[in-house]
Structure 1
Amino acid sequence: MSMSKWPDNENVKNEIAKWQADREHWSHTIPAMDFFSQFLTLTPIVGKQFNSASTDGKSLFICPDYSATLSDTSRQFLQAHLIWHCVAGHLNAPLVADYRRWHLACDHEVNALLLELGISFPDDALLFPVCVGRSAMDVYRWLAGHPNISVEVCIDIHPAALWHDLPNTSIEQRTINLWRQRANLLAKDPGTLPARVAKFCEAR
């Protein structure tokens, strides 16, 4: 993407350039990440009450000021995390009673996949070791017994809740279907994904 498409703000350009550089690194190290990242347009959000990152399956929305607070490991992990929300089918949400608990369950499901892919984890990455390999819905049910769920922190805005922070965005069913097809496609490419991740993508 050309720098000229971004706002004429040096901080914005510098931060988005970091996210782009992370993608270029994946092109040499993790082909699956390189493949999936090309479908999300890096989109800085400035001048709004938006201090995080999220995606609608087409754009990857980033607050540059928030990005500037992240270490290289945290930023790279966050981009991978958002990409895999799309791959995992988290662009919408089922009718659950507790949407924050659902977000935590989705975050765990994604992060367990990133662990298999060899993505470096920041120290504060969310993962429930006893739940590795379980579906987001299973983890959601398991979290009902969490003694103090308020201590668990989400690093992003769940795609299904993005409308609250960016009211003009919406998740299209066509976009959800495209990500399912991409996941299925990569699952059929031998050696591209670890076995458990390939099985997960095939089941999408």
Structure 2
Amino acid sequence: MRKGVVTQLASYIARKKGNTENAAARALKDEQLALWMSDRDHWRDSCPLNADLADSLTLIPVIDDRVATATTDGRSIYFDARFSAPLDAEHRRYLQAHLTWHCALGYLLPASSSSDMWHLAWDHEINSLLLQQGYMLPTSAVLFFSKVPYPAHEVHDWLLTHPALEQEVTTDRLYEECVIPLPSSQASLDTDFTPTPPDSRLVETWRSHTRMLANDYRWTHHLPAPIATRLKHLS
């Protein structure tokens, strides 16, 4: 996983050199990138499993209305610098960890017939795992308290009978939600936003990588027993 990161990072730096956006936009993106990178450094001591997982994802700040908040294609994490700027460190770290675990669990390709429900179910399971890692979840985070121990596929089935599904809103965005053309010609579009469609091979590569890391951290306090059990059966 690490080899691809070097290539992507070099590509991002090359794009930055030729970028013609205004100085204020560049400064904001550079400032937020530094913060997101420092959050990974924070994890080296506090949550090294998350740091190891995140190392396989290139951080790319953008100013793009298609992203709005943050997304991942399984290769990079794209986050809107305008959205990120007012976040405190706790919320920012939660968001990066959440996107990282989307990749770690292979939650990148929802069924097109019920993609909204799959996204909610995935977010619920990911947020349940982050709670077990000691994260403070923002009030906007998707979490169904009666279903905290349940895996995503069971939560998805439960959501089929949810009485007010329209009230549940995810913070992050999936790849497919970011590539829909925007209605306004005045929308902000960033040339740094160049996601690649995730595929089943990438999903399996991530799951294999996560199982390997989970084995490395097994029996340590950095991998709580419920998470170790979940990852042992990751498929």
Q: Using the TM superposition, name which of 104-113 and 166-175 deviates more.
A: 166-175
Do residues 199 (structure 1) and 226 (structure 2) align? no
CA separation of 1:131 and 1:160: change in aligned 2, threshold 3 A: farther
Distance 1:58 1:89 in 2: 12
Match of 2:116 among 100, 118, 122: 100
What is the Cα deviation at residue 123 of structure 1?
2.4
Query: Tell me, what secondary structure is at the counterpart of 1:127?
Result: coil
Distance 2:194 2:83 in 1: 20
Match of 1:164 among 180, 198, 219: 180
Distance 1:160 1:113 in 2: 24
What is the Cα deviation at residue 203 of structure 1?
1.4
Amino acid at match of 2:225: A
Query: Tell me, what secondary structure is at the counterpart of 1:188?
Result: helix
Count of equivalent residues: 202
Match of 1:51 among 68, 80, 84: 68
CA-to-partner distance for each residue in 1:28-69, whole Å, 9 max, x for gaps?
Answer: 111111110100000122355431211111100111111113
> Is the Cα–Cα contact under 8 Å of residues 160 and 171 in structure 1 kept in the other structure?
no
> Is the Cα–Cα contact under 8 Å of residues 187 and 199 in structure 1 kept in the other structure?
no
Distance 1:194 1:77 in 2: 17
State the TM-score, normalized to the length of structure 2.
Answer: 0.78
CA root-mean-square deviation: 2.2
1:34 equivalent in structure 2: 51
Amino acid at match of 1:176: V
Greater Rg over alpha carbons, structure: 2
For structure 2, the 5+ residue unaligned runs are 1-8, 182-192
Do residues 111 (structure 1) and 134 (structure 2) align? no
